[in-house]
Structure 1
Amino acid sequence: MAHPRMRFTAVYEAGDAWLADCSAHPTLVRTAWSAETLAPIPSGKVWLVAETLLLTSMKALNRIREEHRGPVLVDPELDKAWWLVPLDAAEELADVRQVTVHSPGWPLHCPPTGWHLDTRMWMCRPDGSGRLTDPAVLAAAVGPGGYRPRAEATR
């Protein structure tokens, strides 16, 4: 009989494949996951990492529609969340004090998309589409007024 985690992970294969391919060494990422350890995936090839406090991210997630959210990894024990954002996001988020954008090469220690490892889990899982969170949307969502899509703002 297949290991329960293996069956569960199969549902998220597209997200796992995309995430592993974001590394220069996808085989090492999958090897880490097979050993049930976090895989360090350096930022800068496909995305950068925008770090916030967990509570800040939870509030922002409630303000951003699902179709505008990219992957978000969380670690409740560390009180941190990491948003995957486009490679040009650092400049746009530079003045948002609640967000720290890590430089290219910074390793994000990731579990596979279908299950948690240690205290890390995907709050918004990579789905294989390559969708990332727009930095303008993230900046607005963590700001005082929160992000309001144009259609809602005019109501």
Structure 2
Amino acid sequence: MTTPGTKTAVDWLVSAAPDPEACRRQWRRNPLGVALLPAGRRWDVLILPGELGQATLGVLALLPAPPGPVLADSGDARLGFFVPPGTASRWIGTGVRGAGRGSWIVVPYPGRATDGVRWLVLPDGRGTLTDPAVLELAMHEAAAPAEGGTGRKP
């Protein structure tokens, strides 16, 4: 079963692939329902440790504008936030990994259940990405309770 908006999400995702039709075939044929897509063309991905990523997503969910796509690996050990291209090469942050130009990411088919990586926030098909400045502020807000600060818990 697929969710509403899947076609536009798929179209947007495969637009980053060197061969969009090969990407579609890979999704159909891969028993895990995933494909590899290059980062750095339409988006970069900032990868946060699971606990911080979940808390950060909770803070972003309180904002009026929705975040861009967010992936979680199996077990929620890491979350990947889709941000504008070029962000990964400029990001300075302890414990945050960046996937930018020259990196490839495992991407599940939108709206289809998989045993591994999955969407926490589906792509909207319009290219909405998380603003890196907003993501950084949300990370600080999310980390503040853990550091004994005065931030809210998500």
Sort the TM-score into its range (normalised by shorter chain). Answer: 0.7 to 0.9
Stretches of 4+ moved more than 6 A in 1? none
Q: What code does the residue aligned with 2:9 have? A: G
Match of 2:45 among 46, 49, 55: 49
Q: What SS does the corresponding residue of 2:65 show, helix, strand or coil?
A: helix
Q: Distance in 1 between matches of 2:105 and 2:89?
A: 20
Which residue of 55, 60, 80 corresponds with 1:59? Answer: 55
Question: Could you say if the C-alpha distance between residues 92 and 135 of structure 1 is closer, same or farther in structure 2, counting changes exceeding 3 Å?
Answer: farther
Q: Is the 8 A contact 1:98 1:142 kept in 2?
A: no
Q: If the length of structure 2 is used for normalisation, what is the TM-score?
A: 0.80
Q: CA deviation at 1:58?
A: 1.0
Aligned to 1:138: 135
Residue 113 of structure 1 corresponds to 110
Structure 2 portions without partners, runs of 5+: 146-154
Structure 1 residue 62: Cα displacement: 1.0
TM-score (norm 1): 0.80
Q: How many residues align?
A: 139
Aligned counterpart, 1:153: none
Q: 2: distance between equivalents of 1:137 and 1:125?
A: 18
Unaligned 5+ segments in structure 1 are 147-155
Per the alignment, residue 6 of structure 2 pairs with 12
Tell me, what secondary structure is at the counterpart of 1:77? helix
Is the 8 Å Cα contact of residues 50 and 102 (structure 1) preserved in structure 2? Answer: yes
